Amino acid sequence: MTNPLSTETIALVKASVPALSEHGAAITARMYERLFEDDHIRGLFNQANQGEGGAQVHALAAAILGYAQNIENLGALAPVVERIAQKHIGYHILPEHYPFVAAALLGAIGDVLGEAATPDLLAAWGEAYWFLANILQAREARIRGGIEQTPGGWHGWRRFRVAQKIQESAVITSFILRPIDRGPVVPHKAGQYLTLRLPVPGQPELKRNYSISCAPNADYYRISVKREADGQGGSRFLHDAVQVGAVLEVTPPAGDFFLPDDPQRPVVLLSGGVGLTPMVSMIETIAERHPDLETFYVHGTLSSATHAMDDHVRGLARRHGRIAVTTFYNEPQADDRAGETFDHAGIISTDWLQRNLPFDRADFYLCGPKPFLRAFVSGLSLAGVEADRIHYEFFGPADELLAA
């Protein structure tokens, strides 16, 4: 990634690092306040991520600080650029939205830093912002172009009908989505997600990401959703209000977490709770397309009551012959039997993974709740797994995981 920024801009941005370290969260909080004064711009964001104790505010503050610290080594930002670009595809962020963010960011820097935000500093950050924005817009254009040129691809929001609704466990339900226009759908990469626009009564329109839980195909998508008791109602709306025949709006598959077309190393799929959804997509794909791929699927959940799609996954593993499935139940029920309905009581540990898996040569794919990912993204790294063999999906601000 070449760096055409002027030496003056680079020097000013680097000089702002101490101020960003001290005031970054205040700047990003003020930036969001400015952005959300416009209802149209507010509607582009997943408002669930604006809560969580200010998690999105701190995530953006960390990203801005990281940009400033790496302003002379922009290649280090490539993975972050890809993740942001994929999210923008999901939320249908377009080039015309970028000026709103620029104005809000520069205005927030001025509001928080006061006299320290000199005209030269603001001009430098304006140049730095637009340089990165242009990189993002170019990448997003390439992603959109690839989707639209693929049979079944589309741009923006497309209407899908719920063709089936399947109870998978006490807390997880699957939804089969087929396009109303009866055309094909672009095959996703196993592990990617869809973004849905949900018209929840009494609330501003919600946008939510849900992993696709079936193998890539040209006919339909399946999402498998856990009903969350708290939160802002997206999962409750799907479980309680959305019935077979309902119409939902969806953007094309997106995400930088997926199984490669031609895996070169053994694969370990590691999930907790509803994090199994992209893993089921990967296992179906491996069963269909990779008969010789050595695969290990390790899943943790509370009990058989919360364990979705277990019979389906084990059936695929038996037919494939080189997929090993291991389940951990943290709170087994009275009728759960070790060695029959599950394999181990308790929680998955890095030590167990080291003892039982090809730890030094496998690619690890992770998905699960925040504590699960925080433990294993850092735990695998500290245990010696190289960063390029650790792949994870995380919905929401990922600053804590990146820091780990």
- In order of 15, 157, 226, 238, 372, the CA distances from 210 in angstroms are 40, 15, 10, 11, 18
CA atoms of 350 and 270, how far apart (whole Å): 11
CA atoms of 93 and 91, how far apart (whole Å): 6
210 is catalytic: no
CA atoms of 46 and 59, how far apart (whole Å): 14
In this structure, which amino acid lies at residue 285?
A: T
Q: Which two tokens stand for residue 99?
A: 């000026």
- R_g over Cα of the chain: 22
Contacts of 138 (CB under 8 A, 6+ apart): none
140 is catalytic: yes
Spell out the SS3 assignment of the chain: CCCCCCHHHHHHHHHCHHHHHHHHHHHHHHHHHHHCCCHHHHCCCCHHHHCCCCHHHHHHHHHHHHHHHCCCCHHHHHHHHHHHHHHHHHHCCCHHHHHHHHHHHHHHHHHHHHHHCCHHHHHHHHHHHHHHHHHHHHHHHHHHHHHHHCCCCCCCCEEEEEEEEEECCCCEEEEEEEECCCCCCCCCCCCCEEEEEECCCCCCCEEEEEEECCCCCCCCEEEEEECCCCCCCHHHHHHHCCCCCCEEEEEEEECCCCCCCCCCCCEEEEEEHHHHHHHHHHHHHHHHHCCCCCEEEEEEECCCCCCCCHHHHHHHHHHHCCEEEEEEECCCCCCCCECCCECEECCCCHHHHHHHCCCCCCEEEEECCHHHHHHHHHHHHHCCCCHHHEEEECCCCCHHHHHC
Of residues 32, 67, 91, 98, which has the active-site annotation? 98
Give the angle subtended at the CA of 83 by the CAs of 81 and 86, to the nearest 5°. Answer: 105
Of residues 129, 140, 221, 329, which has the active-site annotation? 140
Residues recognised as catalytic: 98, 140
